Amino acid sequence: MPAFEKLSIPCTFVQDNHSLSVPAFTLRGLHFQTPPRGQDKLVRCVRGAIFDVAVDIRKGSPTYGQWVGAELSAENGHQLFIPIGFAHGFVTLEDNCEVSYKCSDTYAPENDGGIRWDDPAIGIDWPMPAGTAPELSPKDAVQPLLADFDSPFPYDGRPLAPLA
């Protein structure tokens, strides 16, 4: 049995992405691709440290709008699997962070979507010093709130799994 299947990761990865964020507290997200081009992602930090987040955006899910997060670093080697139907984002915890992630579909700009990183209805506890404003891309600064988002992702019965 392949290693991903043993971990209940039932997808084939077809694209690898690599990003560099130079200043600490650069925030990317919350991103997803809509059907029919949804993406499962397997994320790891290969240089530096990030706080990585997944938000359940599956319509009808009992955990809709809830999030899980984990620190991923080159030192700890941890990875986070983000299934289709979850928005993904991260904040860098130090300068010069490199993030590598595998995707189950290629990038499709017409299916690109996002939710605001600071949506109070989601309430992500981003680990940034008090008074610190994250470095945002213009795209991430204007994403819609969850309340203004009509999710195309159906609930598939899988619970929002706790992080071990």
Catalytic residues: 31, 101
Q: CB under 8 Å to 138, separation ≥6 — which residues?
A: none
Cross-strand bridge partners of residue 66 = none
d(CA 123, CA 117): 9
Intra-chain end-to-end CA distance of the chain, in Å: 22
Cβ atoms of residues 136 and 89 within 8 Å: no
- Strand ranges in 63-126 using DSSP code E only, listed in sequence order: 67-73, 79-82, 86-92, 97-103, 112-114
Strand pairing class (86-92; 49-56): antiparallel
